């Protein structure tokens, strides 16, 4: 029995599957740093080293989370949100190690889709690929809209007023119009409404509605800056990986320097009294921001999509993932301590908390606040770049396997990029960001990503041992360290259950009671059953501890996202199944 309990899998079948995936990508099995081009087909250009990969990971992780959503997380959890970042890193850590082994052993574009294809089969791979497309597309739409808000805000700070109706989506303006007009009918006046700070955003959207020009009776309202940045980034990604990595490296350097400035200047003004109480709303408040924080941590997933463009993927991909996750966790913790030390956590429920603490209502250091605003724009751009880089490579991998039309797998002969997939990705993000408001779907993006992490962690348990030509374990391939989970997982779960019962006995009494909120607990009940089955398998099969930890922690985080997001997630899966059975299964290479 090997480290990952090979009794769970057929070694020969999975070895052949892995070899077939590598051949389809024109990657020689005897070398992890060269691509076979004997077929005459265009292949992706190999340009990335460990520094580039680490920068791409940091580019994706240090974005909206540290410049925006950290404020709401601090408002709910107080200074104790540092434990949320630590927990999230620990939850992502095992998943990152599993990604690292897959990336080392199967250095092929496609991320979790490819890894699932090699270990768990085509149907589950399609589900993951479909979910990743949702994750990247919806996530980037939200990032593009957020970039637009920061950009127009920066312009207004310099006295440049961008037209409201060209910096807002149609739906928000229409809703604002309905809200304000209802208030006016109730006898309120615009002057009275303008004195209400809670209506500032609504009044801005209402102004866009009434000022917008009309064409054939339809008001022209769209978010042009969101379209602009998406087109620019997509064009950069289309031109080549070398140009993309250079832009990413420069922007990441600037972003880190700005964050370093925030930490140094902010540390001087820290008032330790603001750290008391440290956890004002307890664990519930701390974990209330889990979806937004986790959304910021998924950058290492995007790194794995660039496997075929790495000079030495087996060595550099694992290092890049672990370095970026470690660096970003430290940055988030330090920034959270500075943020909650400079200002009381109750004042941080704002969209731009770092700029806020240095603004007129904070330390009143406008020069720092202006630099932070620039940093936020750079951060949003890097996130957009990395995910616009990653998504086309997933489309490409699915096209190779026949699950999407073959044109998705085509590589540009000059630029060495998946040209058609890149264009489609640009359109999928640019058009909705122009007209729609999708900032409410962060949870939906997170649930799809967590599901991908669950399958990647589970897939590691099905991998056959990697051996060299002499039958010995290869030292060139990164593998997840094996620790027997036979006793650890069952005892840990029992201990956690007993502690929870002791701390909250009333909740345990009502665990199986039926009431109006029972439906909201269904995901949690499913997790309890799933964790019990996993614990039994650990005891019987001696499964590897680290993948199991990733499996359980990511599964638990999924239960925290609410039943509404589970329903949306299942609807998205249903659409994916329809496409799979109408097209993909008929054109799959497995059926030819």
Give the pLDDT confidence score for residue 11 in this predicted structure: 47
Question: Can you name the residues that pair with 310 across neighbouring β-strands?
Answer: 48
Map tokens 């036979």 to a residue.
Answer: 486
DSSP 9-47: S-HHHHHHHHHHHHHHTTB-TT-SS-B--TT--------
Q: Higher confidence at residue 366 or residue 264? A: 264
CATH architecture designation of domain 6-157+226-460: Up-down Bundle (1.20)
Q: How confident is the model at residue 234 (pLDDT cuts 50, 70, 90)?
A: very high
H or E element that contains 215: strand 214-215
**Smallest Cα–Cα separation from 105: which of 413, 474, 580, 591?**
474
Q: How far is CA 43 from CA 110, 160, 191, 523, in A?
A: 14, 45, 62, 43
Each residue's pLDDT tens digit, 364-407 = 888 888 888 888 889 889 888 988 888 899 899 899 888 999 99
Q: Compute the distance between CA of residue 549 and CA of residue 111 in angstroms, rounded to an integer.
A: 20
Burial 453-471, CB ≥16 within 10 A → b, else e: bbbbbbbbbbbbbbeeeee
φ and ψ at 223, to 5 degrees? -100, 85
Domain spans of the chain?
6-157+226-460, 170-221, 488-591
Give the pLDDT confidence score for residue 516 in this predicted structure: 45
Whether 39 has a pLDDT exceeding 70, the answer reads no
Give the pLDDT confidence score for residue 41 in this predicted structure: 46
Whether 285 has a pLDDT exceeding 50, the answer reads yes
Each residue's pLDDT tens digit, 318-366 = 888 888 888 888 998 999 999 999 988 888 877 678 888 887 777 888 8
Q: How far is CA 369 from CA 143, 208, 265, 366, in A?
A: 21, 27, 11, 5
φ and ψ at 49, to 5 degrees? -115, -175
Q: Compute the distance between CA of residue 486 and CA of residue 541 in angstroms, rounded to an integer.
A: 8
φ and ψ at 187, to 5 degrees? 105, 0
Q: Higher confidence at residue 25 or residue 388? A: 388
Give the pLDDT confidence score for residue 496 in this predicted structure: 85
Whether 503 has a pLDDT exceeding 70, the answer reads no
Q: Compute the distance between CA of residue 221 and CA of residue 234 in angstroms, rounded to an integer.
A: 23
Give the pLDDT confidence score for residue 440 in this predicted structure: 52
Residue 238 · residue 156 · CB < 8 Å: no
Each residue's pLDDT tens digit, 136-181 = 887 788 788 878 878 887 887 778 888 888 888 787 888 888 888 8
- Where in 61-168 does DSSP place strands (E)? none
């Amino acid at each position: 029995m090997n480290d990952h309990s090979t009794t769970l899998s057929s070694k020969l079948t999975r070895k052949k599957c892995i070899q077939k995936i590598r051949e389809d990508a024109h990657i020689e099995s005897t070398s992890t740093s060269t691509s076979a081009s004997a077929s005459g087909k265009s292949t992706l250009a190999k340009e990335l080293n460990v520094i580039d990969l680490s920068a791409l990971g940091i580019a994706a992780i240090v974005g909206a989370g540290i410049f925006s959503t950290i404020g709401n997380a601090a408002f709910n959890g107080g200074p104790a949100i540092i434990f949320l970042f630590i927990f999230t890193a620990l939850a992502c850590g095992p998943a990152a190690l599993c990604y690292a082994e897959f990336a080392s052993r199967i250095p092929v574009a496609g991320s979790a889709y490819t890894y699932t294809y090699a270990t768990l089969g085509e149907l589950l791979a399609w589900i993951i690929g479909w979910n990743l497309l949702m994750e990247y597309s919806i996530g980037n739409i939200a990032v593009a809209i957020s970039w637009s808000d920061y950009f127009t805000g920066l312009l207004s700070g310099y006295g440049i007023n961008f037209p409201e109706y060209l910096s807002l989506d149609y739906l928000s303006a229409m809703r604002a119009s309905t809200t304000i007009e209802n208030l006016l009918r109730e006898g309120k006046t615009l002057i009275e409404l303008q004195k209400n700070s809670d209506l500032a955003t609504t009044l801005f959207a209402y102004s866009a509605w009434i000022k917008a020009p009309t064409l054939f009776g339809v008001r022209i309202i769209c978010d042009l800056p969101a379209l602009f940045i998406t087109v620019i980034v997509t064009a950069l990604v289309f031109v080549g990986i070398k140009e993309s990595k250079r832009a990413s490296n420069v922007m990441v350097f600037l972003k880190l320097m700005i964050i370093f400035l925030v930490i140094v200047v902010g540390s001087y003004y820290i008032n330790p009294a603001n750290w008391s109480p440290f956890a004002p709303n307890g664990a519930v408040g701390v974990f209330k921001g889990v979806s937004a924080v986790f959304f910021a941590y998924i950058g290492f997933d995007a790194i794995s999509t660039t496997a075929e463009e790495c000079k030495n993927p087996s060595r550099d991909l694992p290092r890049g993932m672990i370095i970026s996750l470690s660096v970003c966790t430290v940055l988030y913790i330090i920034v959270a301590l500075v943020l909650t030390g400079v200002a009381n956590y109750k004042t941080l429920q704002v969209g731009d908390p770092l700029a806020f603490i240095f603004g007129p209502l904070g330390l009143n250091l406008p020069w720092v606040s202006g630099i932070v605003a620039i940093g936020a724009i750079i951060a949003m751009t890097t996130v957009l770049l990395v995910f616009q880089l990653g998504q086309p490579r997933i489309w490409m991998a699915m096209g190779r396997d026949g699950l999407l039309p073959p044109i998705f797998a085509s590589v540009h002969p000059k630029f060495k990029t998946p040209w058609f997939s890149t264009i489609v990705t640009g359109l999928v993000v640019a058009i909705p960001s122009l007209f729609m408001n999708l900032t409410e779907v962060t949870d939906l993006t997170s649930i799809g990503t967590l599901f991908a992490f669950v399958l990647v962690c589970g897939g590691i348990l099905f991998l056959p041992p990697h051996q060299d030509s002499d039958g010995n374990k290869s030292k060139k391939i990164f593998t997840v360290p094996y620790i027997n989970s036979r006793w650890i997982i069952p005892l840990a779960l029992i201990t956690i259950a007993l502690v929870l019962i002791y701390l909250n006995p009333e909740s345990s009494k009502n665990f199986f009671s039926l009431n109006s909120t029972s439906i909201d607990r269904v995901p949690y009940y499913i997790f309890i059953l799933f964790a019990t089955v996993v614990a039994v398998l650990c005891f019987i099969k001696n499964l590897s501890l680290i993948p199991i930890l990733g499996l359980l922690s990511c599964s638990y985080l999924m239960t925290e996202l609410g039943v509404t997001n589970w329903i949306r997630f299942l609807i998205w899966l249903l659409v994916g199944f329809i496409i799979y059975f109408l097209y993909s299964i008929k054109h799959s290479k497995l059926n030819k």
